[in-house]
Structure 1
Amino acid sequence: MARQQGRVPPYTIVYFLSRGHCEAMRMLLADQGQSWKEEVVTLETWGRGPLKASCLFEQLPKFQDRDLALYQSNAILCYLDRSFGLYSKDQQEAALVDMVNDGVEDLIRCCSHLLHNYEKGKAQCAQELPGDLKPFEFLLAQNKGGQGFIVGEQISFANYNLLDLLLNHQVLAPGCLDAFPLLLAYMMCLSAWPKLKAFLASSYHVNWPIFSLIKI
């Protein structure tokens, strides 16, 4: 399965039939005009064991760039950021990008844990979300009054990860950004970028669930 037509892409994403931990890297690749292949792993295949045993850390996603195999979604995002010259060359700014991404990952892990019991967890996520989103609204306000990226002068992997988080929470908790005008404008602005807009309108994004186990 290839995301884009044309020459054989150098990149392969091995993952379940969901957006999950791979959607930010898919957004990054699409926005940078890259093509890639998807190798979809069914839960049945994963449950048999051999594929899981072959994976470092016994986890997916796996990302293949020709002869380089990478695991851990944030390591993959950092690799792609550096590959396309998106990672800040300024150490302080790079540290802020890492900080933002860690904050996004904390929220993703918290929500993933809560949503194992979906109905109860969804309500708790919605209740806690205003406090969880407040730091990101603050950071946007500090950077050109919310008219720029979450940190710095150019897009980075943390922006794609945050965009994915915000889009997912609009599904899980509709209206959750109403109290955060800068985050809402930020999400809408990035989503309207031509290549991101095309990806977000594609059948892969629209028809694939956020989580493979919950099917939402």
Structure 2
Amino acid sequence: MSGKPRLTYINGRGRMEPIRWLLAAAGVEFEENFVETKEQLEKLIKGGDLLFQQVPMVEIDGMKMVQTRAILCYIAGKYNLYGKDLKERALIDMYVEGITDLMQMVMMFPFSPAEAKAKNLASIEEKATKRYFPVFEKILKQHGQDFLVGNRLSWADVQLLEAILAVEEKVPAVLSGFPQLQAFKTKMSNVPTIKKFLQPGSARKPPPDENYVALVMSIFNL
């Protein structure tokens, strides 16, 4: 096995995508092992690799880590993306938790029944523009810095950019009333490691389509 982290998940965004984003932002190359069938998942479970019988799993530093937040915390700490002290870490945690709430809605949207899609899309737009994005617009305006915490790149910045781009895929003009976030998006997208991740051919996964939804439902018995 190489020294690169090895990511085990389906070939799609889901709960692994923020992990891909964070590793990429840290400039860390990684390998991927795609679960393509229910039988492959069952084999991993029977082999004892999945502590709670769930993916994602990341093999890193001799560990087989599961649980998305635990993995993200470890990566953020290991690669100096988790603040300089306990107070900064608390801020990063708060911001990430808020962004995660929004991203949960985005992640589940492709699985919406046809009759609920319009309603669920409207809910994503409302929550983004009325609850979540105003918070980060205010933070950036108040401290006048490029990054959310400590004026240096952190996990919170990476996850916020991921969320902005994911919501924009569904609501292209969602940032029209948020000039600070527009500037933030531009600056973050030009961080060299992130700019590389945003290029075609990177490990970033495309928006979920019908094939992705069908694959997830077949593997996880949804």
Q: Distance in 2 between matches of 1:90 and 1:165?
A: 25
Task: Name the aligned partner's letter for residue 72 of structure 1.
Answer: Q
* Partner residue of 1:153 out of 146, 151, 154: 151
**Deviation of the 1:184 alpha carbon:** 1.6
Matched AA of 1:181: P
- Normalised by the length of structure 2, the TM-score is 0.81
The match for 1:4 is none
Partner of 2:87: 92
Which stretches in structure 1 are left out of the alignment for 5+ residues? 1-6
Report what 1:49 is aligned to. Answer: 42
Cα pair distance change 1:113/1:32, threshold 3 Å: closer
- Percent identity of equivalent pairs: 29
Aligned match of 2:34: 40
Report the Cα distance in structure 1 between the residues aligned to 2:29 and 2:21, rounded to whole angstroms.
Answer: 11
Distance in 2 of aligned mates of 1:96 and 1:85: 15
User: 1:43 and 1:152, CA in 2 relative to 1: closer, same or farther beyond 3 A?
Assistant: farther
Query: Is the counterpart of residue 16 in structure 1 residue 10 in structure 2?
Result: yes
CA distance in 2 between partners of 1:93 and 1:188 (Å)? 24
Separation (CA, whole Å) in 1 of partners of 2:159 and 2:200 = 18
Give 1:143 deviation, angstroms: 2.5
Query: Over the residues paired in the alignment, what is the CA RMSD in angstroms?
Result: 2.5
Give distance in 1, aligned partners of 2:15 and 2:214. Answer: 14
How much has 1:167 moved relative to structure 2? 0.8
What letter matches 2:99 in structure 1? V
The corresponding residue for 2:219 is none
* 1:101 shift after superposition: 0.6
Residue aligning to 1:72: 67
**Aligned counterparts of 2:194 and 2:122: Cα–Cα separation in 1:** 30
Q: Is the 8 Å Cα contact of residues 88 and 149 (structure 2) preserved in structure 1?
A: yes
Whole-Å separation in 2 of the counterparts to 1:207 and 1:78? 21
Equivalences, count:
206
Q: Distance in 2 between matches of 1:75 and 1:11?
A: 15
- Rounded Cα–Cα distance in structure 2 between residues aligned with 1:88 and 1:154: 8
CA distance in 2, matches of 1:38, 1:169: 25
- Measured in 2, the distance between the counterparts of 1:191 and 1:141 equals 19
Q: CA deviation at 1:37?
A: 0.4
Deviation, 1:57, is 2.3
What CA distance in whole angstroms lies between the structure 2 residues aligned with 1:86 and 1:127? 30
Query: d(CA) in 1 for partners of 2:165 and 2:31?
Result: 23
User: Which one of the candidate residues 54, 58, 62 is aligned to 1:63?
Assistant: 58
Cα distance, 1:77–1:143 mapped onto 2, change above 3 Å: farther
Residue 207 of structure 1, CA deviation: 5.6
Question: Which amino acid in the other structure matches residue 50 of structure 1?
Answer: K
SS at match of 1:79: helix
What is the CA-CA distance between 1:199 and the residue it aligns to? Answer: 1.3
Query: 1:189, CA displacement in angstroms?
Result: 1.0
1:125 corresponds to 2:124: yes
Contact in 2 for aligned 1:111/1:125 (Cα 8 Å): yes
Counterpart in the other structure of 1:108: 103
- Which residue number corresponds to residue 3 of structure 1? none
Deviation at 1:74, TM superposition (A): 1.8
- Structure-1-length-normalised TM-score: 0.83
Q: CA deviation at 1:78?
A: 1.2
Shift of 1:113: 4.1
Q: In structure 2, what residue type is equivalent to 1:175?
A: A
- Give the conservation status (yes or no) of the 8 Å contact 1:62–1:70: yes
